[in-house]
């Protein structure tokens, strides 16, 4: 019980017919963290969330919540309420009644409901707004109501399934900030499902990246972005350029790899265990590349600019190299300067990330 691990998933598997949707999920989640399940549509995020909440029973493996194996417990005994799209507030009910809903269903005495709802409202700083209806509140306030509704049930973990997906971009951003603020203020443990990488990067303590029912990587936003473990993760989060390369030297975390037509080499730090002669992939983010009209750099390529687009704070260039591979380069803060024709693209060696080649 003293452990800081609130949720522990051990070899969880879920099968629908002949669709093996969750494959040996092992995951430990600490108290008070904001965790995001990230992945494209159909990779199993919602299925795992529902398996934690108890709406699905797992076919194999164990779900532990707060030191208790809950495989056989119904949803209402797990302390893991789920909040769905648009916070699932009832539009025709007042804020008070929305928050009291779960307690009403459980037929708690009137006095207890009054007291618990008031306490939850105070926690999320909504005292005084009991009689309002959802449409009379801002998006951020509605989010607070949704959280109060979960809190009032003495939740251990709050599960949010794409709660912002129906909001417009501006409101989404406002509510994101609000949601993260409430979570941090109250030290809540939240699992948030999304397929939006920006949402995941900006809100989470830890991100779980799903790939076809399995976890490809579990790490901080920084780790996921800068040290993706697989090509799938590198590709899914942000934009990445890849180049084939071969390890020519590897020594205590430093690798020298050979790349490109001319057989140039670059030496960079890596957390991968590599072998000399191994074929690897070299990854560089568009913002790590610089465009120059020909000169020298640590990592360099020659490319022909095919097109570009203005994206506000940056100009994004699309190039092709000598072997016809496309490269994406972001140029920041360049004012009126534009590049065209054949250019050299360079990146500092420490901006080069190496990953192993895998099938997926």
Query: Which among 41-49, 127-135, 165-173, 274-282 is the span making contact with ligand ATP, rule CB under 6 A?
Result: 41-49
Q: Which is nearer to ligand ATP, 56 or 250 (CB)?
A: 56
Residues numbered 128-157 forming contacts with ligand ATP, rule: CB under 6 A: none
Among 11, 16, 138, 306, binds ligand ATP (CB under 6 A): 16
Least distance from C-beta 22 to ligand ATP, angstroms?
8
Q: Which of 207, 182, 46, 50 is nearest to 124 (CA)?
A: 182
Would you say 291 and 345 are in contact if contact means Cβ atoms under 8 Å apart? yes
Which two tokens mark 205? 């303590």
Residues numbered 191-220 forming contacts with ligand ATP, rule: CB under 6 A: 195
- The burial class, CB within 10 Å (0-12 / 13-18 / 19+), for 271 is exposed
Query: Which among 15-23, 127-135, 259-267, 320-328 is the span making contact with ligand ATP, rule CB under 6 A?
Result: 15-23
Sheet with 241-251, edge to edge strand ranges: 264-269, 254-259, 241-251, 279-284, 353-356
Q: Which is nearer to ligand ATP, 23 or 31 (CB)?
A: 23
Q: Which is nearer to ligand ATP, 32 or 42 (CB)?
A: 42
Least distance from C-beta 172 to ligand ATP, angstroms?
16
Q: Does 102 bind ligand ATP (CB under 6 A)?
A: no
Among 12, 25, 36, 47, binds ligand ATP (CB under 6 A): 47
Among 41, 252, 307, 360, binds ligand ATP (CB under 6 A): 41
Among 6, 9, 34, 46, binds ligand ATP (CB under 6 A): 46
Distances from the Cα of 357 to the Cαs of 120, 272, 274, in angstroms? 50, 11, 11
Distances from the Cα of 212 to the Cαs of 41, 57, 124, 229, 248, in angstroms? 10, 19, 37, 16, 33
Among 39, 219, 221, 260, binds ligand ATP (CB under 6 A): 39
Q: Does 21 bind ligand ATP (CB under 6 A)?
A: yes
Give the containing element (helix H, strand E) for 176: helix 169-186
Gap between the Cα atoms of 243 and 87, Å rounded: 43
Q: Does 45 bind ligand ATP (CB under 6 A)?
A: yes
Neighbours of 347 (CB within 10 A): 23
Gap between the Cα atoms of 112 and 303, Å rounded: 70
* Contact positions vs ligand ATP (CB under 6 A): 16, 19, 21, 39, 41-47, 195
């Amino acid at each position: 019980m003293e452990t800081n691990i609130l949720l522990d998933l051990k070899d969880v598997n879920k099968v629908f017919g002949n669709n093996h949707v969750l494959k040996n999920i092992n995951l430990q989640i600490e108290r008070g963290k904001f965790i995001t399940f990230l992945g494209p549509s159909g990779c199993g995020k919602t299925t795992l969330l529902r398996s934690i909440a108890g709406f699905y029973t797992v076919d194999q493996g164990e779900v532990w919540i707060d030191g208790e194996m809950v495989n056989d417990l119904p949803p209402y005994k797990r302390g893991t309420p789920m909040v769905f799209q648009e916070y699932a507030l009832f539009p025709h009910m007042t804020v008070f009644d929305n928050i009291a809903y779960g307690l009403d269903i459980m037929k708690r005495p009137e006095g207890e409901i009054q007291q618990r709802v008031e306490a939850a409202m105070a926690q999320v700083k909504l005292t005084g707004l009991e009689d309002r209806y959802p449409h009379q509140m801002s998006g951020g306030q509605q989010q607070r109501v949704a959280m109060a509704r979960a809190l009032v049930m003495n939740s251990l973990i709050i599960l949010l399934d794409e709660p912002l997906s129906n909001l417009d971009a501006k409101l989404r951003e406002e509510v994101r900030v609000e949601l993260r603020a409430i979570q941090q203020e109250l030290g809540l443990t939240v699992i948030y499902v999304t397929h939006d990488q920006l949402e995941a990067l900006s809100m989470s303590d830890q991100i779980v990246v799903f790939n076809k029912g399995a976890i490809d990587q579990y790490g901080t936003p920084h780790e996921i972005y800068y040290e993706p473990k697989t090509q799938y993760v590198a590709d899914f989060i942000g934009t990445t350029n890849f180049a084939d390369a071969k390890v020519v030297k590897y020594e205590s975390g430093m690798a020298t790899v050979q790349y490109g037509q001319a057989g140039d080499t670059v030496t960079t730090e890596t957390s991968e265990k590599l072998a000399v002669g191994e074929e690897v992939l070299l990854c560089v983010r568009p913002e790590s590349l610089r465009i120059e009209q020909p000169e020298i750099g640590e990592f360099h390529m020659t490319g022909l600019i095919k097109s570009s687009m203005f994206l506000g704070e940056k100009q994004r260039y699309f190039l092709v190299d000598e072997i016809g591979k496309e490269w994406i380069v972001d140029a920041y803060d360049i004012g009126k300067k534009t590049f065209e024709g054949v250019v050299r693209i360079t990146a500092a060696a420490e901006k080069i990330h190496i990953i192993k080649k895998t099938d997926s």
